[in-house]
């Protein structure tokens, strides 16, 4: 109670105690893709002088080629280059803004580069600064001596080509690495923003391969090269997945692309914890669905494990591209195991019209792509029209022309019992998602249905986020009552929406927070315990009509 000293009228604001819980978002999707640096197998684009404007530099850390490096030895090592490949001291010196000075007297020669000075024979170098030595070990020794004595510290090439040229051009031997660069995660809310993201990724791809100069060529040809970039299979799957998300009702996507030597790289790299799936760690309240359109089985398994670790994101995964029976998918080890139901798998792949075929007739007009992005969009659409408690099944899929192959009712049985969801073509009824099971169907049937797991994710996230105010509050019956009241009010709304079973709220859920859940030893330890039980609705997966003959008085059934 305030200690008033002066007579007068005072105003006090009091806390009503009510802290309404706002339902957490359920349908923001994260998309991760991996594009190989070797996506352009052949590049024919040339500048006005007929010189190739694009040349792939295989390797690991191209970003190092844009940073200033005081130690040329570190540069050579970081790019996996061999100093013995240097053949032209002019090009090598150009990396440091220096021009070598070669003095030849009889059989002796002196090479000066900056402060470095090396004595050799006239048989080792010509007056133009070109090394004539064939022994790579000896060449490396010369380079090491020049850089050590010269203390070269101004390395700052303008393009990656400069580095390549100094080490013998395209034929340099470079060790394969992991992630070359990443773009995102970026929040996109419509196709235009997504195209801008793709363009940014393309430009980064070109710069990292060939240097900044690659972006200064013919704009028309650069646009054509952008279309080629979008048609790299890994990129195309990613682009079509995100596009399918928007076409089916998705509203917010967080897109993320990795460029790597090998498109099958792991998505979790302890050496680079912010790369791959770790890039989404900071999006704690922003994503609820995760897709990796067309990624390998091992990569999709990593996505599922990541979602189960976070326990607030649901993975939508792609089954094999080619037809495989449900038992074969399991037998061949292509069915990710799940005990907690944080992911679902879909077959078959879907077909789409290639939107870039009108400009490049060499590309296929109709292409099979992974279904995960389209399915994630259906999740978002159903969440908005019916609620997260409605199973995202018996729903049409927009933006596709057909299926990679058809599955009939008899074949689907082998998929369904294993928790693999099938997309089927019902003719006049359209192409529909005909399954609502998670990957825990075999291991833990309690979490067999997608809508049950996603409903729990929403409720748990809502309570966690909306109850932060309670941290450090006095831990007594007043706090317990406020928590009970707030959670009861929220769950009452959830029940009224049709998400919980029960004719009354009391039959649908309970909330307990009192002396029994909070004994003195728990309170002394700083804990407040709230026990909640809910009865989620489950989908009518098998609708059975029992029909028999009736003669008006007695029933004859079959």
Strands (E), 164-312: 179-188, 253-260, 289-291
Cβ(210)–Cβ(222) under 8 Å?
no
Provide the residue-wise pLDDT of the chain in tens; the chain has 558 residues. Answer: 677 788 888 877 777 667 788 888 999 999 999 998 776 644 333 334 444 444 443 333 334 333 433 445 555 554 455 666 677 788 777 777 778 888 888 888 888 887 778 888 888 888 888 888 878 788 878 877 777 665 555 555 545 456 656 665 444 333 344 567 899 899 999 999 999 999 999 988 887 766 555 566 667 778 888 888 898 899 999 999 999 999 999 999 999 999 987 888 899 888 788 899 999 999 989 999 999 999 999 999 999 999 999 999 999 999 999 998 888 888 888 888 888 999 999 999 999 998 876 555 556 778 999 999 999 999 999 999 999 999 999 999 999 999 999 999 999 999 999 999 999 999 999 999 999 999 999 889 999 999 999 999 999 999 999 999 999 999 999 999 999 999 999 999 999 999 999 999 999 999 999 999 999 999 999 999 999 999 999 988 777 888 877 777 655 555
Contacts of 169 (CB under 8 A, 6+ apart): none
Cβ(464)–Cβ(451) under 8 Å?
no
3-class secondary structure for 380-442?
Answer: HHHHHHCCCCCCCCCEECCCCCEECCCCCHHHHHHHHCCCEEEEEECHHHCEEECCCECCCCC
User: How crowded is the C-beta side of 548, counted as CA atoms within 13 Å?
Assistant: 10
User: Where on the phi/psi map is residue 313: left (φ > 0), alpha (ψ -120 to 50), or beta?
Assistant: beta
At residue 55, the pLDDT reads: 41
At residue 53, the pLDDT reads: 41
Residue 321 DSSP class:
S
* Residue 278, Cβ density class (10 Å: 0-12 exposed, 13-18 middle, ≥19 buried): middle
3-class secondary structure for 94-160?
Answer: HCCCCCCEEEEECCEEEEEECCEEEEEECCCECCCCEECCCCHHHHHHHHHHHHHHHCCCCECCCCH
Reduced to 3 states (helix: H, G, I; strand: E, B; else coil), residue 507 is: helix
At residue 501, the pLDDT reads: 94
Cβ(190)–Cβ(246) under 8 Å?
yes
Q: What are phi and psi of 121, to 5 degrees?
A: -95, 160
The DSSP element (H or E) to which 220 belongs, if any, is helix 219-230
Q: What angle do CA 374, 376, 379 make, to 5 degrees?
A: 115
At residue 279, the pLDDT reads: 95
Reduced to 3 states (helix: H, G, I; strand: E, B; else coil), residue 446 is: helix
At residue 91, the pLDDT reads: 77
User: Where on the phi/psi map is residue 498: left (φ > 0), alpha (ψ -120 to 50), or beta?
Assistant: left
The DSSP element (H or E) to which 36 belongs, if any, is strand 29-36
Distance separating alpha carbons of residues 538 and 499, to the nearest angstrom: 9
Numbered ranges of CATH 3.40.50.11780 in the chain: 29-37+181-451
Range 29-37+181-451 classified under CATH 3.40.50.720: no
At residue 536, the pLDDT reads: 95
Residue 481 DSSP class:
H
Distance separating alpha carbons of residues 148 and 155, to the nearest angstrom: 14
**Could you tell me the pTM of the whole model?**
0.76
Which tokens belong to 150? 């010269």
């Amino acid at each position: 109670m305030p200690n008033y000293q002066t007579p007068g009228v005072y105003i006090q604001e009091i806390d009503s105690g009510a802290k309404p819980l706002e339902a957490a978002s359920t349908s923001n999707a994260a998309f991760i893709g991996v594009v190989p640096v070797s996506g352009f197998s052949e590049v024919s684009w040339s500048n006005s002088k007929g010189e190739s404007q694009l040349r792939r530099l295989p390797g690991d850390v191209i970003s190092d080629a844009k940073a200033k490096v005081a130690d040329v030895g570190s540069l050579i090592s970081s790019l996996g280059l061999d100093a013995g490949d240097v053949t032209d001291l002019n090009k090598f010196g150009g990396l440091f803004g220096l021009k070598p000075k070669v003095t030849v007297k009889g059989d002796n020669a002196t090479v000066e580069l900056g402060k470095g000075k090396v004595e050799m024979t006239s048989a080792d170098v010509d007056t133009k600064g070109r090394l004539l030595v064939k022994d790579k070990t000896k060449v490396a020794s010369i380079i090491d001596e020049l850089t050590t004595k010269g203390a070269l510290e101004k390395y700052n090439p303008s393009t990656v080509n400069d580095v390549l040229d100094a080490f013998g051009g395209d034929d340099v031997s470079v060790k394969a690495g992991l992630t070359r660069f990443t773009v995102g995660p970026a929040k996109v809310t419509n196709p235009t923003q997504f195209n801008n993201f793709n363009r940014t990724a393309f430009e980064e791809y070109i710069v990292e391969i060939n240097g900044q100069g690659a972006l200064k060529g013919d704009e028309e040809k650069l646009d054509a090269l952008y279309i080629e970039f979008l048609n790299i299979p890994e990129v195309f799957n990613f682009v079509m997945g995100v596009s399918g998300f928007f076409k089916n009702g998705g509203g917010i996507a967080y897109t993320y692309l990795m460029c790597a030597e090998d498109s099958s790289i792991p998505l979790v790299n302890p050496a680079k914890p912010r790369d791959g799936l770790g890039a989404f760690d900071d999006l704690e309240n922003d994503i609820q669905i995760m897709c990796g359109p067309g990624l390998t089985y091992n990569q999709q398994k990593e996505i599922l494990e990541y979602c189960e670790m976070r326990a607030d994101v649901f993975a939508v995964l792609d089954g094999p591209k080619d037809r495989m029976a449900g038992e074969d998918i399991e037998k061949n080890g292509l069915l990710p195991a799940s005990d907690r139901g944080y992911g679902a798998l879909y077959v078959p792949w879907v077909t789409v019209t290639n939107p870039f075929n009108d400009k490049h007739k060499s590309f296929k007009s109709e292409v099979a792509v992974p279904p995960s992005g389209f399915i994630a969009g259906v999740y978002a659409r159903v969440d908005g029209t019916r609620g997260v408690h409605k199973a995202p099944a018996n729903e049409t899929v927009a933006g596709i022309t057909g299926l990679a192959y058809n599955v009939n009712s008899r074949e689907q049985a082998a998929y369904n019992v294993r928790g693999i969801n099938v997309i089927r073509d019902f003719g006049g009824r359209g192409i529909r998602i005909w399954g609502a099971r998670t990957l825990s169907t075999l291991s833990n049937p309690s979490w067999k249905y997608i809508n049950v797991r996603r409903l729990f994710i929403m409720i748990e996230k809502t309570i966690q986020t909306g109850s932060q105010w309670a941290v450090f509050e006095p831990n007594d019956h007043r706090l317990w009552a406020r928590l009970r009241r707030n959670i009861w009010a929220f769950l009452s709304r959830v029940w009224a929406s049709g998400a919980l079973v029960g004719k009354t709220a009391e039959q649908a859920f309970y909330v307990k927070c009192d002396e029994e859940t909070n004994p003195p030893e728990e309170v002394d330890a700083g804990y407040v315990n709230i026990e909640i039980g809910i009865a989620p609705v489950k989908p009518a997966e098998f609708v059975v009509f029992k029909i028999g003959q009736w003669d008006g008085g007695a029933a004859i059934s079959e």
